[in-house]
Amino acid sequence: MNGKILIIFLFVINLFAVSAKVDKQNVIEGDNVAFSITASGGHIIFPDISSIGGNNIEAVSSSTNIIMVNGNYKRTLTKTYVFSPAHSLMIPSYKVIVDGKAEYTQPIKINVVKDIKTDKNFKLKVDTNTTAIVGFPNIVDIKFYQKTNEKVNSVSLELPKGDFELKQVGKEKISFEGAYRVVSVKYQLIPKKAGDIDFLVKLRLGFATQSIDPFGFVTSSMRYKTLQKDIKIKAKKIYDGLIGDFNISLNVDKTKVNANEPVNATLEINGNGDLSSLGDIKINIPNVTIYDNKAVIKDNRYIKKFVIVADKSYTIPPLSLSFYSLKDKKVKTIYTKEIKIDVKSNNMTPMVYNNTTAPKNTKLVKKVVEYKINYIYLIIVFVLGLIIGFLLSKIKINKKNLLPTNLYDKLLPYADNPKIKEILNKLYNKQKLSKEDKEFLKGFFNENKRSS
């Protein structure tokens, strides 16, 4: 008899090599469901599940159990998927590979019912346009309503991912509407391609609970609920490039400078489009050295700064910006103004007299100006020079760091040298010079001293 029972038990184990279950089938809207698949065998391959019925998997866990049947060890592996169903659904049958053989789980029905209390005390609203333009920001306003007399211990917002870019605009705002405290956060949704955008906005609420265990001890735990809204947006494409309405300007701090004196220029673009798509804008002027910083994009403003150095007068050409104007319903191109920079040369031309322009009175040319030299002062200066020279010989100078204090200004006239240009760029951006840079400068200044 016992042998028959053992045979039946082994038959049942082999018959149900793969099984599935949930921790609850009747679910209050916002609660989590734990869906578990259990398989027995040596080599088990579980399905790759990222969502169930359109609801993203929030957590995945695994556990292993080894049992002995009739002297043989049997491995049982369980994988659990946690999700929050937005509506009633049927969990489908999933394929599991056990020791090279395909096994299938049974479908499970989930019933979702509304929680009247939670629905009254906590609300989630999402306001946005149902149509959007590829490459142009669409505002998504997410509002969380909480009854002022209700307590929630934690609130976390789960943002969707897809063929769009989503970024927060400004800071969250708090207001009050009747018996509710309202927290509002705005996001920019920028579609990357045309088509339907369907996503869930989830707000996870955590409530602290306390209970007494069988031994009389008070234990604390967290209970979670999820508020969610399904958002559907249709994106269309109207233009390959910048979309919106913009203004552009380029300003300089001065238009008249000495040779190799830097001119600071600031490019600014304002508008209501996706300025991050502009990329890196450059200014190109022949035979002129230009340094630039990385553009800063904030509050619908694109700002980029340049430093321009030249030894001759030059003109900053107009910079152009093309975009599709939503206001005028057409492609427009706008320009900055042309700016002329007058560079004054520092070279002094010596006056040369030739035979025809030389003064006629040769006595004036040959006249010698006599100076009265105070020999006492000369002796004092000579002695002081000897003393200072002796003192300097006793002072140890660290020649490794012997670089001019006004290094940037001294290097500007040599900006056509690639290495000098690289060092100038580091100095302008307040970067530390490397040991190699300092060794190069030492040799550079020593060579200039010998040549001069």
353: tokens are 């007299």
CATH number, residue 83: 2.60.40.10
Burial of 8 (0-12, 13-18, 19+ CB in 10 A): exposed
Interatomic CA distance for residues 194 and 133, integer angstroms: 8
C-alpha distances in angstroms, 443 versus 2, 414, 417, 419, 433? 97, 14, 14, 13, 15
* Contact assessment for residue 22 and residue 38, using Cβ atoms and an 8 Å cutoff: no
In a domain, 362, yes or no: no
Q: 107 and 127: one domain?
A: no
Low-confidence ranges of the chain (pLDDT < 50): 1-15, 348-373, 396-402
Q: 133 and 105: one domain?
A: no
What pLDDT, on a 0 to 100 scale, did the predictor assign at position 117? Answer: 60
Interatomic CA distance for residues 228 and 434, integer angstroms: 54
In a domain, 168, yes or no: yes
Q: 221 and 251: one domain?
A: no
* Contact assessment for residue 308 and residue 284, using Cβ atoms and an 8 Å cutoff: no
Q: 138 and 214: one domain?
A: yes
In a domain, 203, yes or no: yes
* Contact assessment for residue 228 and residue 311, using Cβ atoms and an 8 Å cutoff: no
What pLDDT, on a 0 to 100 scale, did the predictor assign at position 223? Answer: 76
In a domain, 130, yes or no: yes
Helix or strand or coil: residue 187?
A: strand
| Tokens 């093309």 found at | 322
In a domain, 7, yes or no: no
Q: 259 and 228: one domain?
A: no
Question: Which residues on neighbouring strands pair with residue 230, listed in sequence order?
Answer: 200
For the stretch 343-386, pLDDT in tens is 997 654 444 434 434 344 333 333 333 334 455 666 776 667 77
Domain stop point among 320, 344, 368: 344
Question: C-alpha angle 128/327/335, rounded to 5°?
Answer: 125
Question: Residue 197's closest CA among 142, 243, 128?
Answer: 128
What pLDDT, on a 0 to 100 scale, did the predictor assign at position 350? Answer: 41
Interatomic CA distance for residues 271 and 298, integer angstroms: 11
| Tokens 């029905």 found at | 109
Residues 316, 318, 319, 322, Cα dihedral to 10°: 180
Question: Residue 186's closest CA among 144, 148, 219, 141?
Answer: 141
Q: 225 and 256: one domain?
A: no
User: What string of DSSP letters covers 189-223?
Assistant: EEESSSEEEEEEEEEEEEEEEEEE-TTS-EEEEEE
What pLDDT, on a 0 to 100 scale, did the predictor assign at position 352? Answer: 40
In a domain, 408, yes or no: yes
Give exposure, 389-401, as e/b (b: 16+ Cβ within 10 Å). Answer: eeeeeeeeeeeee
For the stretch 143-200, pLDDT in tens is 999 998 888 888 888 887 888 988 888 889 999 998 999 999 999 999 999 999 988 8
Domain stop point among 236, 270, 288: 236
Question: Residue 246's closest CA among 306, 322, 317?
Answer: 322
Amino acid at 170: G
Q: 436 and 403: one domain?
A: yes
Interatomic CA distance for residues 311 and 343, integer angstroms: 7
Q: 120 and 232: one domain?
A: yes
What pLDDT, on a 0 to 100 scale, did the predictor assign at position 373? Answer: 45
Largest CA distance in the chain: 148
User: What string of DSSP letters covers 365-420?
Assistant: HH--------HHHHHHHHHHHHHHHHHHHHS---GGG---TTHHHHHGGGTTSHHH
Domain stop point among 344, 363, 385: 344
Q: 339 and 263: one domain?
A: yes
**Total number of domains in the chain:** 4
- Cα torsion 383, 387, 392, 394: sign: positive
What pLDDT, on a 0 to 100 scale, did the predictor assign at position 42? Answer: 83
- Cα torsion 290, 296, 299, 300: sign: positive
* Contact assessment for residue 285 and residue 308, using Cβ atoms and an 8 Å cutoff: yes
Interatomic CA distance for residues 132 and 139, integer angstroms: 9
In a domain, 282, yes or no: yes
What pLDDT, on a 0 to 100 scale, did the predictor assign at position 244? Answer: 93
* Contact assessment for residue 91 and residue 52, using Cβ atoms and an 8 Å cutoff: yes
Q: 133 and 148: one domain?
A: yes
What pLDDT, on a 0 to 100 scale, did the predictor assign at position 220? Answer: 75
Question: Residue 443: which domain range?
Answer: 399-447
Q: 300 and 258: one domain?
A: yes
Question: Which residues on neighbouring strands pair with residue 103, listed in sequence order?
Answer: 96
In a domain, 360, yes or no: no
Residue 281 host element (H or E): none
For the stretch 290-321, pLDDT in tens is 999 889 998 889 999 999 999 999 999 999 99
Question: Which residues on neighbouring strands pair with residue 66, listed in sequence order?
Answer: 75
CATH number, residue 228: 2.60.40
Straight-line distance from the first to the last Cα atom of the chain, in angstroms, rounded to the nearest whole number: 113
Structure pTM?
0.55
Interatomic CA distance for residues 419 and 425, integer angstroms: 10
Q: 28 and 100: one domain?
A: yes
